[in-house]
Amino acid sequence: MPSLINEDLTRSGTHALVIGVSCYLHFADGSEPTANGSDFGMEQLSAAARSASEFAAWLLGPYRRSGSELKSLRVLLSPAVGEVIAPSVAALLKDDYSATVGNAKIAISEFRAACASHRDNVAIVYVAGHGIQLTKTGAILLLSDFGSNAHLARLEGALDMAGIHAGFNHPSAPRTQFWFVDACRQKPAIARRFESLEGALKLDVPLGDTESSPMFLAATTGCQAYARPGGLTLFNEALMWALGGAAAAGPDEQTPSWHVPVTQLIRRLPERVKALALAEGAEQSVDIAGKVHEAVFHELSRPPTVDLHIDVRPEPARTLSRGTLLQNGTTLVVNDYSAWPLSKLVDAGLYLLNIKSSPPYQDRSGIIDVKPPAATKDFEVSP
């Protein structure tokens, strides 16, 4: 299963595996329905393959990590009829790229080999599609040929993402890994008919641990993950929002640029998913599993844009106050402003606000540390 870009194993870098499944051949509404597939009572999806392709497109485009450039990208997609795939990814897909268990075995094997080429590699995995859960820590992704009569076990056409993740947790695997599982985690009704359900692909787990391998699960145990029909999953929307700068942290001693660290992803991604779901009258919570140590996921090429909101208090002082906003205390951003409140998109960073007020109110000056995703500041000019 070749990489979409020329694979480079001569130096350390980032190796990625992306899988998105919307089309299920053997469900009751699939093109080749079977009793095994129909037993799970699931329907076709319309956003999983597109969401996976958008993440792959992001890796091909904005993704940036100093010393860990993208060295390989393996993508398997099974889109629904009419589902839109990111153009930059669609243009690179050749031959059979369907998300079947056979292709997945090859892709995972080659991805693991690429990851093992250097200890300093970075591994990134993103999967999206129908998911089930058999244990409270489990996360199983159903592949496109799930339910095939050719499978000896009911889950043979599925990936045990928790088991695969565990198989990468050892000293010879990349020190830094990021895993995203964009799928539901509900126990299927059919599970009540079996002592156990076996067959989902997982890996042997060698001794020892890697350094950092957080796994972001789009749904908490026993719950659903939602999507916009024909659009994107809420998890994908939130992740792209976070990586676009909403989860960015400022330059520090280790990373001299604005960057997205694990701690900020852990904070912002669940908040955003929850907010998006609530706006649609639903509930969705992100779970964090794996080995969570601080690491940089992405470095931004420029400071992120932040929605800055400034107001003057008390309200009667608004008409008697004029403000000047300076970036880093030198670059003029807003001059002689009086139509309070002030709302403006600005680059993240430090700003100096000077307020000139007429009696009985006093002049005020203050530093505003503008951080993503939004910054709000009220200035009191009372006597």
Is 2.10.70.10 the CATH classification of the domain at 14-299? no
Tokens encoding 17: 């595996």
Tens digit of pLDDT for each residue in 233-258?
999 999 999 999 999 999 998 899 99
pLDDT of residue 190: 84
Read off the pLDDT of residues 338-347 as tens digits, 9 standing for 90 and up. Answer: 999 999 999 9
Higher pLDDT, 301 or 137: 301
Q: What class has domain 305-380? A: mainly beta
Residue with tokens 């499978």: 151
Q: Are 300 and 260 in contact (CB under 8 A)?
A: yes
Q: What integer is the mean pLDDT of 107-114?
A: 97
For residue range 163-173, list pLDDT tens digits in order. 999 999 999 89
240-245 LR contacts (CB < 8 Å, sep 24+):
240/54, 240/55, 240/58, 241/272, 241/373, 242/268, 242/269, 242/272, 243/58, 243/62, 243/297, 243/298, 244/62, 244/304, 245/300, 245/303, 245/304, 245/305, 245/306, 245/348, 245/372, 245/373
Task: Kindly state the tokens that stand for 334.
Answer: 């807003």
pLDDT band at 138 (very low <50, low <70, confident <90, very high): confident
Give this prediction's pTM.
Answer: 0.94
- What are the residue boundaries of the structural domains of the chain, listed by start? 14-299, 305-380
Q: Which residues pair with 368 in a beta bridge?
A: 351
pLDDT(229) > 70:
yes
Walk across the sheet containing 321-327 and list its strands.
Answer: 331-337, 321-327, 349-357, 364-370
Contact 165, 213 (CB under 8 A): yes
User: Whole-number mean pLDDT of the chain?
Assistant: 95
Predicted local distance difference test score (pLDDT) of residue 191: 77
| Phi, psi at 229, each rounded to 5° | -50, 125
User: Could you read off the pLDDT of 178-218 as tens digits, one per residue?
Assistant: 999 999 999 888 877 776 788 899 999 998 899 999 999 99
